[in-house]
Amino acid sequence: MRIGDVAQRTGVSTRALRYYEEQGLLGSERTSTGQRTYTESAVERVELIQQFFTAGVPSRTILQLLPCVDSGHASPEVFEILEEERRRITDAMADLAAARDALDRMIDITRNPTPEHCPSLR
Amino acid sequence: MRIGDVAQRTGVSTRALRYYEEQGLLGSERTSTGQRTYTESAVERVELIQQFFTAGVPSRTILQLLPCVDSGHASPEVFEILEEERRRITDAMADLAAARDALDRMIDITRNPTPEHCPSLR
DNA sequence: GTTGACGTTGACGTCAAGGGCAAGTCACGA
DNA sequence: TCGTGACTTGCCCTTGACGTCAACGTCAAC
């Protein structure tokens, strides 16, 4: 596959794919004329990378985690990173839940304006 | 209260507080010599702003929501924003959950390396 | 009245994940 | 062989929420 094919199948821009390679996250073979060639597994890899990016894991951290995906083995340091990211994500979920609750309260108040809720009615 | 007090009580830098004011998110009185003065409610306000920032709500959107916090009333457009942000946050939570599951699988595999999981052992 | 912490504005720097453009090369069908 | 679309590298640009520095004013204490 060429880069455009991977882009189309993953929904990730070619610019982003080159960026991933630049960051060491995604490998590719080259043709004799220098064009990138990808295997099928690259699609899966890109999807995993995307998932991490979406979760707020920075590229440098992903770079440390990916070898462990391939080898199935984690050094103690990598293991610590795994658990730390897990904690970070859990905390982020709690923050999101709190913000959503705040929005819910606002939605509720604006839907049922009552004197207790609404200073302007008092 | 002066800006340093608010910073200390909220854990938000003075630079950030001035930025919030610049963005219209946070009001302040001024002394005759130009120094900012805050009421007690500013602390609560800053905490709310932080909560939204943490949840990924951009300052321009927060700016549209805050008047509704004060008035207890939301125009249809603001109401739509409220619900859209709610959706966005819910989606983000699902993304985080998916990423955490991916991490959990990795953690599990590295904790119990088995031939099925680990290509290098096959 | 001087010291030192705290305050002011303004301008520029940072960081990450790409976007966009330029100028050239490659692949492939007509 | 020509055209066209896909690809290459290299470079600067963008966005948001501040950090940082400069140059200066203020305030409370001693």
Q: Are residues A80 and A110 in the same domain?
A: yes
Query: What residues make up the domain containing B8?
Result: 3-73
Condensed to tens digits (0 to 9), the pLDDT of residues B3-37 reads 999 999 999 999 999 999 999 999 999 999 999 99
CA–C1' distance A15–C28 (Å)?
Answer: 24
Question: Best interface-test mutation with B: which of A62, A89, A111, A116 has the largest number of B CBs within 10 A?
Answer: A89
Domain presence at residue B87: no
Question: Using a CB cutoff of 8 Å and minimum separation of 24, what contacts does A105-110 make?
Answer: A106/B65, A106/B68, A106/B69, A106/B74, A106/B82, A107/B79, A107/B82, A107/B83, A107/B86, A109/B72, A110/B68, A110/B72, A110/B73, A110/B74, A110/B78, A110/B79, A110/B82
Q: Is A88 on the interface with B (CB under 8 A)?
A: no
Q: Is residue B86 part of a domain?
A: no
Q: Which residue is nearest to nucleotide D6 (CA to C1')?
A: A4
A60: CB within 7 A of chain C nucleic strand: yes
Calculate how close chain A gets to B34, using CA atoms only, in Å: 30
Residue B80, in any domain of the structure: no
CA distance A32 to B43: 63
Indicate whether A78 and A66 sit together in one domain.
no
- Residue in chain B closest to A54 (alpha carbons) equals B95
Q: Exposed, middle or buried by CB within 10 Å (0-12, 13-18, 19+), for B89? A: buried
Q: Using 50, 70 and 90 to split pLDDT, how confident is the model at A114?
A: low
Q: What is the pLDDT of residues A51-103, one digit of tens each?
A: 999 999 999 999 999 998 888 888 888 999 999 999 999 999 999 999 999 99
Is the CB of residue B54 less than 8 Å from the CB of residue A101? Answer: no
**How many domains, in total, are found in chain B?**
1
Asked whether residue B30 is assigned to any structural domain, the reply reads yes
Out of B21-25, B70-74, B99-103, pick the least confident: B70-74
pLDDT, tens digit (0-9, with 9 covering 90-100), for A24-42: 999 999 999 999 999 999 9
Instruction: Check whether B87 has a pLDDT greater than 50.
Output: yes
